[in-house]
Structure 1
Amino acid sequence: MLNNKSILITGGTGSLGKALTAHILKHWPEVKRLVIFSRDEQKQYQMAQDYPMSKYPQMRYFIGDVRDRERLVRAFSGIDYVIHAAAMKHVHIAEYNPDECVKTNVGGAENVIQAALQTKVEHVVALSTDKACAPINLYGATKLTSDKLFVAANNIRGHHNIKFSVVRYGNVMGSNGSVIPFFIKKRSEGVLPITVNEMTRFNISLQGGVDMVLHALKTAWGGEIFVPKISSYRITDVAEAIGPNCEHKEVGIRPGEKIHEEMISSSDSFFTYDIDKYFVIVPQTPIWNIADFVKTFNAKLVPQGFAYNSGTNEEWETVSSLRQLIKEHVDSNFEA
């Protein structure tokens, strides 16, 4: 699928960007070009130690910011597929720096769209978040806006042979800034700070995130929001799995946080289809025929009022399964 193709990843030095890079180089060694686009030169330098151009001649490291449309246009020259992973993602930092979050997550999304339309990009897959569904914080609101921009971009493409689609998922296990590595680091202090005991979150592995992006690249018709069927965990079970001998101290919810996360709201149910491993929220004004989509993917419309919520999910991780997942996906030397 990706051999002889040129791919660019915005925010490519992040956790998912590095996982995508490893997966692509392993499974499509004849990829024509793999461009890592990000604004952090130190992270690019470090990533280039793992994937030097002397060993991986298809690799390119491109310093740039998604806020800079001219730089994006230059970077997209000759690119077939763009995976847009660049974002400000920390809820509390966005609450304190709202204008910066808007510039990156909304302005950056619009710049990616316009740069892709100006060049010969064939497909853009944008990364979303569960916080974009019924958002109560600025980060979620900017990502919902970003989702809407990418979905609507299919209607303004004109003569361009290009598709825009979105993948939306929950907390990525072991990603930078997520709760599991935070708890692993804090347990040496003997106290694990828990926001509220009732809190739940969706959970997906880095590989699961990679698989979703590749699924969208392979199957999207343009305008879909892909949502994985994944498990939830209770924050208290994560604390027990990592620090059973630690004090679990409830510290209160931070600004902009939810007790439970949603990936599909009841309002989305009218446009949401079940396609086996994933749900798909189709665009309200698609550029293709819904009946053809249903037939091709054996898609089934979910019941009206259906909502996909981490607190009412049917699939749950346990303390023991979390320990096993941490060992498999986060730290092979992990011991509770």
Structure 2
Amino acid sequence: MSYPKRLSLLIFLDSFIVLTAVYLSYWFIHPNALNDVPITLIISSITLLCSHHVFASIYKLYSKAWEYASIGELKNIFKAVTFSIIVTAVVQEIINQDIYVRIMAITWMLHILLIGGSRFVWRMFRDTYMAKNTNNINKTPTLIVGAGAAGTMVVRQLLQNKEADLYPVVFVDDDRNKQRLEIYNVPVVGSTKNIERVVEQYEIEHIIIAIPSLNRKQVNEIFEICTKTKVKTQIVPMLEDILDGKVSVNELRDVQVEDLLGREPVQLDDAGIGEKITGKTILVTGAGGSIGSEICRQVMKYKPEKIVLLGHGENSIYTIEMELRAQYKDVVEITTEIADVQDRNKMFEVMKKHKPYIVYHAAAHKHVPLMERNPEEAVKNNIFGTKNVAEAADTFKVNTFVMVSSDKAVNPTNVMGATKRFAEMIIQHMAAVSSTRFVAVRFGNVLGSRGSVIPLFKKQIQKGGPVTVTHPDMIRYFMTIPEASRLVIQAGTLAKGGELFVLDMGEPVKIVDLAKNLITLSGYSIEEIGIEFTGLRPGEKMYEELLNEEEIHPEQIFPKIHVGKAVLMDHDILQQFMNDFGQMSKEGIRERLLEIANNKVLIKN
């Protein structure tokens, strides 16, 4: 029905209800005087009619979607009716020096009853008759985990949406006060511990975890129970995404491996970050990579004056540029530089041209096995490239330089980790001699980044398996790409110069457990896909560390963020390696790198 027709219908209905309420009230009080209606009552009915329409308009009774009516709408009806009765009583007092108290009281009750009833009858019709007549035979019987506000909202939407493929059958909730109750005729039949029994008893074919406030450890525990049922499991968005307005609570999604980390994301100092970034020029190297591109996305939220996207791969830089322009083209100046950090002259030209306030250095080679086979390329990119960008930043007085490092830089056993540790040493040296604040940020493996284990596992699962894991006891620290990027940005606000910032990454995760979860999330059983252990690759460690013994600083300088003690290497040793690099063999490069990166003799605390 069009809005004008709907409005006309409601005004006509309300007018009929108002007049009916007035004259029924008069008849209740004076049953034998219907043929002798006083002029004051006629004036009162006209006043009540007009004032009702005025207050109905003020409280938007004519623009509500009454099929979704709730307590809020009932309150508005109460206000509109009460104020219209008060206005009518005032008019009676003015005209007649008397108020028909009993008539007005009965009119008020009838008014609320009839106006409210007329509005809520459609809600009742929709929730009962239409729901009962919806063909649920072909819908998927669904278990809702969580009978709170989110679970109730999900059930309500599923019942009202005739196109929905899911049909809520039962709730489970750990709150004992909710058990044995019914919500929208859907019973709460047990706790999360009873999920397996409930699935079997009610022939459930779909599970929805509807508790957005759950932390990741709790999600993991519930998901493990759901996994045993072999039933498809989805989840409502996390609370922070709902509060940020990114998604609605009704937007169900598949459980993702990020939900199962068992560790909460770090909450950072948005105000402090904004002070450093807003209105400034920011340069990101490696801006097309997984970490670099996410740093760009996070930086843009703080509205810098200009962001410079620097990278060697034109396709990846083009992709992030188009993404940012689509959202921020009228807010932030976005410019690109296709350049290789190994090109020293180009790095100086870029710094001179843009004069950035902060540089986030994310450009690096990070594939461990590839760098084992190509150590010279790791040195060129991770060491010489870092040196070029850092010295250019120093020359043109950049305020803060933040280098993205890795937990593999701690007691490194591979070329990639050794070059990262070497780059950290360069940054620490620059911090000691420069007015620019130079810092490095270490974190563990990043879920979903290029070269991480997750994309590899997904491809193997798509091909039918097996998933290859190097060792059943191998463990790693994990974090999400947004977390890693926010940490890098936060480090820039905390920087005094020379620090190694490290995130408290919680408990490490077994790679084999990660593989099992990913197989299950992909809809397969572990038996179907299989897991094959291939043995440690050259340079790999069974576990990663975030700080070595000399670097450990127990205090946190920010919630969940540690700063390592500054461990400096004699710069002459670093410079000698760089001078000799051109004449060294691959094996010689590897040996010298590991020797320097693991040196524990020439240390200044």
Match of 2:399 among 115, 122, 125: 122
Match of 1:44 among 317, 326, 342: 317
Which residue of the other structure, out of 249, 257, 262, is the alignment partner of 2:532?
249
* 1:105-153 Cα shifts (integer Å, max 9, x gaps): 1111111121011112111000100100000101111000000110111
| 1:239 to 2:521 alignment | no
Q: CA offsets per residue over residues 164-222 of structure 1, 9 Å max, x none?
A: 00100000111111111221221122310111111000011112112211221111110
Q: 2: CA distance between counterparts of 1:73 and 1:217? A: 21
Q: State the alpha-carbon separation in 1 of the partners of residues 491 and 296 from structure 2.
A: 16
Question: Hey, what's the Cα distance between the residues in 1 that align with 2:535 and 2:383?
Answer: 30
Aligned match for 1:178, one of 452, 469, 472: 452
Deviation of 1:272 after TM superposition, in Å, equals 5.6
What's the secondary structure of 2:284's corresponding residue? strand
Q: Return 5+ residue gaps in structure 2 as ranges.
A: 1-274, 569-605
Q: Distance in 1 between matches of 2:490 and 2:297?
A: 17
Report how far residue 52 of structure 1 moved.
3.0
User: Is residue 272–residue 282 contact of structure 1 (8 Å, CA) maintained in 2?
Assistant: no
Displacement after TM superposition at 1:4 (Å): 1.0
Q: CA shift at 1:283, angstroms?
A: 1.8
Greater RCO structure (CA 8 Å; 6+ sep): 1
Residue 549 (structure 2) pairs with residue 266 (structure 1): yes
Give the deviation of 1:284 after TM superposition.
4.7
Q: SS in structure 1 opposite 2:365?
A: coil
Post-superposition offset of 1:51? 2.4
- For residues 302-321 of structure 1, what are the structure 2 equivalents within 5 Å? none
Structure 2 residue 34 is the aligned partner of structure 1 residue 34: no
Decide whether the 8 Å contact of 1:19 with 1:206 is kept in 2.
Answer: yes
Identity %: 33
Query: Do structure 1's residue 162 and structure 2's residue 436 form an aligned pair?
Result: yes
Aligned length: 279
Residues 58-207 of structure 1: pairs in structure 2 closer than 5 A? 58-77=333-352, 78-157=355-434, 161-188=435-462, 189-207=464-482
- The aligned counterpart of 1:227 is 502
User: Structure 1, unaligned stretches of length 5 or more?
Assistant: 286-336
Determine the C-alpha separation between the residues in 1 that align with 2:487 and 2:319.
26
Normalised to the residue count of structure 2, the TM-score between the two structures is 0.45
Structure 2 counterpart SS, 1:226:
strand
More helix by share: 2
Given that 2:400 and 2:495 are in contact with CA atoms closer than 8 Å, whether structure 1 keeps it comes out as no
Q: Point out the more displaced range, 72-81 or 95-104.
A: 72-81
Q: What displacement does 1:236 show?
A: 1.1
Query: 1:283 is matched by which residue type in structure 2?
Result: A
Deviations 1:60-79 (Å, cap 9, x if unpaired)?
11011111111111212321
Separation in 2 of the partners of 1:198 and 1:81? 41
State yes or no: 1:216 paired with 2:491.
yes
Please give the secondary structure, in 2, of the residue aligned with 1:52. helix
What code does the residue aligned with 2:442 have?
A: R
Picking from 18, 23, 26, the partner of 2:298 is 23
Distance in 2, Cα, partners of 1:142 & 1:235: 25
Q: Which residue of 1 aligns with 2:191?
A: none
1:6 to 278, 281, 301: 281
State the Cα distance separating 1:268 from its structure 2 match: 2.1
1:55 CA drift (Å): 2.3
The aligned runs of 1:267-286 (5 Å cut-off) are 267-269=550-552, 273-275=555-557, 276-284=559-567
- Tell me the CA shift for residue 24 of structure 1: 1.9
Three-state SS of the structure 2 residue aligned to 1:112 is helix
Distance 1:206 1:102 in 2: 25
Pairing 1:281-296 to 2, within 5 Å after superposition: 281-284=564-567
Residues 105 and 143 of structure 1 are in contact (CA less than 8 Å); yes or no, is this contact kept in structure 2? yes
For 2:375 and 2:555, how far apart are their aligned partners in 1? 34
Q: Matched residue of 1:9: which SS?
A: strand
* 8 Å contact kept, 1:130–1:263: yes
- Separation (CA, whole Å) in 1 of partners of 2:397 and 2:278: 18
Contact residue 204 and residue 230 of structure 1 kept, 8 A? yes
CA distance in 1 between partners of 2:318 and 2:344 (Å): 23
Give the structure-1-normalised TM-score. 0.79
Using the TM superposition, name which of 260-269 and 233-242 deviates more.
Answer: 260-269
**Alpha-carbon separation, structure 1, partners of 2:344 and 2:503:** 31
* Contact 1:132 1:144 (8 Å CA) reproduced: yes
Q: Which has the higher strand share?
A: 1
What is the identity, as a one-letter code, of the residue corresponding to 2:426? L
Aligned mates of 2:324, 2:362 — CA distance in 1: 19
Q: Over alpha carbons, which structure has the higher Rg?
A: 2
Which region of structure 1 is more displaced relative to structure 2, 165-174 or 53-62? 53-62
CA contact (8 A) 1:66 1:111 kept: yes
- Give secondary structure in 1 for the equivalent of 2:563: strand
Computed over aligned residues only, the root mean square deviation of the Cα atoms, in angstroms, reads: 1.6
